[in-house]
Structure 1
Amino acid sequence: MPAEQPALATTVGAASLRGGPGKSAYFEPTRRRGSRSQPAPRRLGSPVSNFAGFTTEALDFYDDLEVDNSKAFWDAHKQVYQDHVRGPMEALLAGLEREFGPAKIFRPYRDVRFAKDKTPYKTHQGAFVATAEATGWYVELSARGVMVAGGFYHAGPDALARFRRAVADDVRGPELERLLAKLSRSHWETGGDRLKTAPRGFDLDHPRIELLRHRSLTVHKSYGFEPIIHSAELATKIKRDWRQVRPLVEWVSGQVSGTTVHLTR
């Protein structure tokens, strides 16, 4: 599952699936608390679940954790994490489960065994709904607000070879191009880990060489500190966002699993 690597505005790669560094994979560093919007008035209930939005306390928790990433801070504020981060994230995902499936909420602890950065805690909370290995939908909360994403975050050699064959195919490749272009028009940003040159077996002048360079392929959209993140309406918005990304998730799931998928919508 994704979202465990250094802050790169548009890239997520294999490290994100193996519990790498605790910085968000999507957000660039910004200011501390001053520029946040105030929470919008909350409605009773939600059309998706009992999720009521994320509080400013959740954002402040991650602001402070970035400054003091220590066990002493964590122990003193663990209940804040449970009440304002973990609990609301569970409620959000419970409301989305019927349509998208069960989610994995990532542990807040970093795997520092092979990392130069030994800070023990992740500075964001991510959750992932898988449709195939390392492929599916993602949502993240951090000091920089809320971000949603989808796509595939890692592929083994066989799955990556199948993905590239699909990209090179004269039918399936243009399908993917059209799909990504449509998402771009809806303000989704394309990212992923990419080679600097052509992958072995493909020419640099291939018409889809930029897609062939991808070792992972994702799209993401940030809501930052918009008032909606403090509202129950965020759940409905994420539901619509994930529906927009569904064709990409289904296309990639089919290709990396070896099942040919042609889009009909």
Structure 2
Amino acid sequence: MATDDAMRVTPPFDGFPPELFTFLEGLEKDNSKSYWEAHKEAWENSVKEPVDRLMADLEDEFGPLRTFRPHRDVRFSKDKSPYKTWVGVTTSDRAVGGIGAFLRIDGDGIRLAGGAMAFAPDQVKRFRSAIDEEHSGAAFEAVRRRLADRGMPVGPGVQPVLRRVPAGLPADHPRAEPLRWKGAVVIKEYERAAWMHRPGAIDTVREVWTAIAPLKEWIDVYVGESAAPPRRPR
């Protein structure tokens, strides 16, 4: 006979509650264990639970989703604040080299993204080769134009771009700009607003993640996963 736990179904996503943003806003002002402990119930009920619901509702369409642990890894950081002041969801299991869709929520609003935030070194080489090659390079530019027409320009991600075109390639290369990139990603940012508290907020996530599919597909085909051991999202 099935147990109660086995029969339990995650309730459908019904929006990001105002308390989620209030919690993260407060954590940014007071990033301390005392704040966390005093507001742990808000974290469980107003942050973790609605994010879990969102993930459950999207996984059939976008595959397994992962969230980020709230504690920061401070071992090699000058900033010793113990907690992330944001909550995130991703379709990738890599921090560097990940290809997929991303969601980040902080006290100010929501950021949605898709593509590759930061290529691993072996991916950078393949990306530049694909941009240089006429057929795959033209296909990348076609994806860029299509997404730009939808208000979703493709950018270089989080890593600094090169000052000039890589050695061995002409400075006047027709695709000189992306040749200097170390990532390729669409980022859409939304300021905190009432619509985020409603069930329809999931439609915005779904719309953006679906729209960036051509970029992800291009990266999958011409760049692929990194051969380096994964650095998992933290």
TM-score over 0.5 for the alignment? yes
1:51 is paired with a residue of what secondary structure? coil
- Contact 2:130 2:223 survives alignment (8 Å): no
1:151 to 115, 119, 130: 115
Aligned residue in 2 for 1:216: 183
> Cα offset for 1:69?
0.5
Aligned residue in 2 for 1:229: 196
Is the aligned partner of 1:249 residue 2:229?
no
> Cα offset for 1:56?
1.1
- Contact 2:103 2:112 survives alignment (8 Å): yes
Structure 1 unaligned blocks of 5 or more: 1-48, 259-265
Q: TM-score w.r.t. structure 1 length?
A: 0.75
Is the aligned partner of 1:98 residue 2:94?
no
1:150 is paired with a residue of what secondary structure? strand
- Residues 101-140 of structure 1 show CA distances to partners (whole Å, capped at 9, x for unaligned) of 0111011111111112111111111111029851100011
CA distance in structure 1 between the partners assigned to 2:24 and 2:153 by the alignment: 24
- Contact 2:136 2:222 survives alignment (8 Å): no
1:149 is paired with a residue of what secondary structure? strand
1:58 is paired with a residue of what secondary structure? helix
CA distance in structure 1 between the partners assigned to 2:189 and 2:118 by the alignment: 21
CA distance in structure 2 between the partners assigned to 1:109 and 1:59 by the alignment: 18
Aligned positions, number: 210
Is the aligned partner of 1:187 residue 2:151?
yes
Q: Give structure 1 regions of 4+ aligned residues with deviation exceeding 3 angstroms.
A: none
- Contact 1:104 1:127 survives alignment (8 Å): yes
Alignment of 1:19-98 (within 5 A): 50-98=12-60
- Contact 2:66 2:93 survives alignment (8 Å): no
- Contact 1:166 1:173 survives alignment (8 Å): yes
- Contact 1:137 1:151 survives alignment (8 Å): yes
CA RMSD, Structure 1 to Structure 2 (Å): 1.8
Task: Specify the code of the residue in structure 1 equivalent to 2:162.
Answer: L
- Residues 133-165 of structure 1 show CA distances to partners (whole Å, capped at 9, x for unaligned) of 511000111101112110112323222111111
Q: Which moved more, 1:176-185 or 1:239-248?
A: 176-185
**Structure-2 change in CA distance of 1:165 and 1:131 (3 Å):** farther
**Structure-2 change in CA distance of 1:94 and 1:215 (3 Å):** same
Aligned residue in 2 for 1:40: none
- Contact 2:144 2:153 survives alignment (8 Å): no
CA distance in structure 1 between the partners assigned to 2:72 and 2:168 by the alignment: 37
1:183 is paired with a residue of what secondary structure? helix
Percent identical residues: 37
Aligned residue in 2 for 1:5: none
> Cα offset for 1:199?
2.1
Task: Specify the code of the residue in structure 2 equivalent to 1:80.
Answer: A
- Contact 1:136 1:150 survives alignment (8 Å): yes
CA distance in structure 1 between the partners assigned to 2:66 and 2:167 by the alignment: 34
- Contact 1:131 1:253 survives alignment (8 Å): no
> Cα offset for 1:168?
1.0
2:206 to 230, 233, 239: 239
1:200 to 167, 172, 176: 167
2:82 is paired with a residue of what secondary structure? coil
Which structure has the larger Rg over C-alpha atoms?
Answer: 2
